[in-house]
Structure formats: structure tokens, C-alpha cells
A = this chain, B = another copy of it.
């Protein structure tokens, strides 16, 4: 099987939108063992799209077509493919029902344009869209399979995960299972990780190893080919010890979890609670933890103490401490964490105070961040970071570091309860 990925949209070729789908689908195909040979992007231009489809059908036998399934008049992927394949489109009552429910929930009438999305290939199959109105579609003709997916990433990715991957696995009908394990790392760069594991990455064939940089952190993805889950498990086990021996402390999850998910899991397992006092991260730290369902069981709350006034009034940081050391200091980080923990009656509290930029503050450089970790009955610890990058990047990395520090503490196990 040979793959071509076509992404459709004038926003792509005019440079308005970065095409992430080709990258995402290529990686997914790679782990399924299906080689991708071409990516093509083309605008919302039916004649050009027609030619691109024709060419792709000559050089690939599995073709993804992403985008152009929307309700507007320039969304023509499905219609163009139907024309190219000379295949009929018919209205699907299930999709109509889905559209009705979708807009009913929003207490809105169905825009007339959206009905266009209820037409599907008579000889094809339909992938239900849980997060939007356009269904995904697949059709096979002349030994070539075409898979049409909606353009918005929040629709395409879950659809691939829950509908398209199983469809491909069945098509591949390999006996071998593909089992993937993701080792998630923080506080170590991708090139450093690749260096430390260089010989393993080169030599290990099953599981295959590859590194991927995340927005923050790095993934080592291990892909095992095995007859059973148990066999895959033993393949992972054969290299895992060595990986951990070389990189142990930097690996925070083998289950593809985010740092906030790991912190939530560790806290709730031990029935512990946390509170936050955020200056430079401005609420991001609390927000990250609250993205995890059920987080209200472990998060007491947080205080966004963005001004000295609020640091003093709501968190009782003494005015003379703020005056003597400044808001961005070891001392303030410590007081913020300790007072917040006591005030919100939590087992832990984490504080952040720093200079997110773009200008320096208190004569302190952009990127300087202090993180306090207070714990019931223990001495408060304070960490210093010197970060780089944009304001948003510094806020994000500081918040993730705060979670990483808490995770390192929680995983040690010797806890108070």
C-alpha cells in the first residue's frame, strides 16, 4: 500500500494556515507500517483538485483528502471526487439526524448550507463526526481507497483515532498487531535524548524507536510488531530498563499522559490536594490541572496574584518582604506557596513568580522564574528557572515546570498521609 495525502484549502497555499494534517497522518501511517510517498496541497479550486486527485490515483492506492467538506460553496472535495470517480452521492438519513441534533443542542436552526454535508457516497462508507457536522467518507474504486476527512483539527484527529485507524487496521488485515508505547520526557531536549539513546534508536528494530518534539517536552515512541499484546509487552520490557537507566528522572509517563494528567493521577491516588498561587503564569497552572476531568477532587483552588496589592491582600505576603526582595524573588515565591497552602488548607501549594517579558521588571531579566513548593509539615522548597523565548512560551514552560516539580515530589511516594 502506498499513500498520498492531499490537503485542500486556499488558506493553506496562501500561507494563512500551516498544514499540520499531512504531518499528523504521515506519522500515523508510519506507525501502521504504511509508507507515505507524497503530500500535496491545493486551493479550493475544483479543476486543480480534480487533476490532483487524478494524479494521486496513478501513484498511490490509499489517498487521504483533508478539508473541503464544510458547508460553504467553496467546499468541494466530496463533489469533485464524486465527479472524478463518476460515483453517486445520496442523502444519508443518519447524517441528517446528526445535523438536527447538533443544531438543536445549540438551539439554532440548521443553516440551509449544512444540508450539503448530509450527502455521502452511495457505494462508500461513513465515519461519524462527534465534534462537528461534516462526516468523514471512504470509497474504494479500481483498487484505490479514498478517505475524506474534515479540515478542523479537533474533528479530524478524533475521527482518525476512533474510526479511521480501526478501518485501516481491518484493511491491512495483518496478523501482527501494532502496539505503540509513548515515553514522555520533560526537562531534556530532543537532540540530547536522541544522543543518550543513539545506539538503541539505531539498532532496535522491534520495537522501532523514534523521538518527536512536543510543544513542551519530547516523546520517545516505541512501535512494536507482535502477535499478541503480551508479546508486545515483553518487547517493550526488553529495552525499557536500559531507557530508564539512562534517562529515568526525565520520563514522567509511559501512557501518553500530559504532566497535568500525571499530577492529577498521583494526587488522587494518594487522596492529596493542591492549591496554586500564580503570578507570572497568570492562571495557566490552575487551568492546566482543571483540563483534567475530576480535578475538583484534588484542586482546592488558586489565586492569581498578578499585582503586589493582591499578593499582600489575598495571600498575606508582607509588604516589607515585597519591598525588600521584590515580587520576583526566592522569598516571595516561598511566602506565596506557604500562605496559599495554609489558607486553602491543601496538602501542597505551588507558586510561580517571574518575568514573562517582553520587558524586564524590578531590574530582573526576562525569563527568570521562581517556583515555590510548600508541603504540609515540611520545609518549603524553592526552584529557580532561567527560561528563554516569547512571553507565552515562558508562561507555558514555567507552568509545566511547576507541574514537573510537583510530579517529581509525588512520585517519590514517601508522603505525609
Contacts and interface: CB of A to CB of B under 8 A. Distances in A.
Interface of A: 10-20, 22-30, 35-43, 45, 48, 52, 55, 70-72, 102, 105-107, 111-114, 131, 152, 154, 189-192, 194-195, 210-213, 215, 221, 276, 278, 281-287, 289-291, 293, 295-296, 299-307, 309-310, 313-314, 343-345, 356-359, 386, 388-393, 395
A98 to B, nearest CB: 13
10 contacts: A19-B19, A38-B48, A70-B191, A106-B388, A111-B189, A111-B195, A113-B191, A283-B290, A290-B306, A303-B314
A300 B290 contact: no
A23 B19 CA distance: 7
B39 A40 contact: yes
B40 A389 contact: no
A290 B389 contact: no
Which DSSP category, helix, strand, loop or mixed, fits chain A's interface?
A: mixed
Given A13-B37, A22-B19, A26-B14, A305 B301 contact: yes
A135 to B, nearest CB: 16
B195 A113 contact: yes
A296 B305 CA distance: 10
Contacts of A286: 278, 282-283, 304, 306
A388 B129 CA distance: 14
Contact of A303 (B281, B282, B304): B304
Contact of A72 (B16, B17, B114, B191): B191
Contacts of A30: 14-15
Contact of A302 (B19, B290, B303): B303
Contact of A296 (B191, B213, B281, B307): B307
B38 A13 contact: yes
B72 A190 contact: yes
Contact of A314 (B27, B106, B314): B314
Contacts of A276: 283, 304
Given A42-B37, A306-B302, A71 B191 contact: yes
Contact of A290 (B35, B111, B195, B282): B282
Q: Of A23, A192, A213, which is in contact with the most chain B CB atoms at under 10 Å from its CB? A: A23
Given A14-B36, A300-B306, 17 more contacts: A15-B29, A39-B41, A55-B55, A70-B190, A71-B191, A105-B388, A111-B191, A154-B390, A278-B286, A287-B287, A290-B395, A291-B392, A301-B307, A301-B309, A303-B304, A313-B343, A314-B344
